[in-house]
Amino acid sequence: MRKAVFIDKDGTLIVDVPFNVNPDLIRLQNNTVEGLRHIRKLGYELIVISNQSGVAHGHFEESDLKQVEERLQELLSEHNLSLDAFYYCPHHPEGSVERYALDCDSRKPKPGMILKAAKDREIDLTSSWMIGDILHDIEAGNRAGCRTILIDNGNETEWVMNDFNHPDFTVRTINDAASKL
């Protein structure tokens, strides 16, 4: 079986611009590329796991996420890197677009996206990691059976702890996270 680093998109892999699908505004976080290269050298797949409630709230269409994925691949390819997969959840229980206004098992902090990716790609979750910038990312990873790393960059504002959202490590950047694997 394979191993993976599941990585949150907004605020972790890329600079967070709320509800953005404009490729021109997408840029990698600072202190990311060397860490991603190290993750690759260690034999991990790179898989994005992202809540995209902008679809449920009517800010953009689900089809717009294809150009986001393409832009991410383009930015990473400039550094001889790539994503192995891109998973997102378009749902939100309070969404204004009826078909997306639901509480599903994929929306973080639930582990559904990670579990689906693991099944689709034959990933051993006990050998894998979830890296994210908020406690919902950590909870999803822990519930899926991964080890977890919180990027403490100021995006987590609530700090409401529970039995499932304690990270194995807390660091400042993806470069720092890679040294913990």
Known catalytic membership, residue 103: no
Three-state DSSP at 10 gives: strand
**Tell me, what amino acid is at 61?**
E
- CB half-sphere exposure, 82, CA atoms < 13 A: 4
No. of H helices and E strands in the chain? 5, 6
What is d(CA 22, CA 29) in angstroms, rounded to the nearest whole number?
16
Known catalytic membership, residue 10: yes
How many beta carbons lie within 10 A of that of residue 73, not counting itself? 13
What is d(CA 116, CA 74) in angstroms, rounded to the nearest whole number?
25
What is d(CA 178, CA 92) in angstroms, rounded to the nearest whole number?
31
What is d(CA 49, CA 151) in angstroms, rounded to the nearest whole number?
15
| Residue of 10, 64, 124, 152 marked catalytic | 10
Catalytic residues: 8, 10
